[in-house]
Amino acid sequence: MAKQRRRQRTEDEQRREVDGWRASGQSGADYARARGYSQSSLTNWAARARDSPALSEPRIVRVEIERRRSELVVAVGSARVCVAAGFDAALLREVVAALQADTR
């Protein structure tokens, strides 16, 4: 039986495969086998990627910022006022005084 010739991957394809492997958490052997090439190809690509300059194309990465809410809830009678960080203390005093006047 004739030896099957494998397709040569471009440098960009090789980099994507290396990035995919690193993100997968799999061993090099498992990742390469599942993708249809040898582990030695993958490790060679990884070595070349490490030694060559980065691609000139920008990478887009999704970033999510989690806002931690630090708020205070002030209850005056049946009214509830939510106060966020950086509030105006004088204004809060006025609001609480007005609410107290309404509950009397």
- Please check whether residues 45 and 77 belong to one and the same domain: no
* pLDDT computed for residue 78 by the predictor: 77
Number of H helices, E strands in the chain: 4, 2
Percent of the chain with pLDDT over 70: 76
Q: Is 65 a member of any domain?
A: no
Q: Is 75 a member of any domain?
A: yes
Q: Is 66 a member of any domain?
A: no
* pLDDT computed for residue 74 by the predictor: 80
Q: Is 20 a member of any domain?
A: yes
Q: How confident is the model at residue 70 (pLDDT cuts 50, 70, 90)?
A: confident
What is the count of structural domains for the chain? Answer: 2
Give me the amino acid identity at 62: R
- Please check whether residues 45 and 15 belong to one and the same domain: yes
**pLDDT above 60: residue 81:** yes
Q: Tell me: the pLDDT tens digits for 20-64?
A: 888 888 899 999 999 999 999 999 999 887 776 655 566 676 766
CA distance 30 to 10: 21
**pLDDT above 60: residue 103:** no
Q: What is the mean pLDDT of residues 73-87?
A: 81
Phi first, then psi, for residue 19 (nearest 5°) are -60, -45
Q: What is the mean pLDDT of residues 82-98?
A: 84
Q: Is 33 a member of any domain?
A: yes
Q: Which structural domain range is residue 96 located in?
A: 71-103
**pLDDT above 70: residue 9:** yes
* pLDDT computed for residue 11 by the predictor: 86
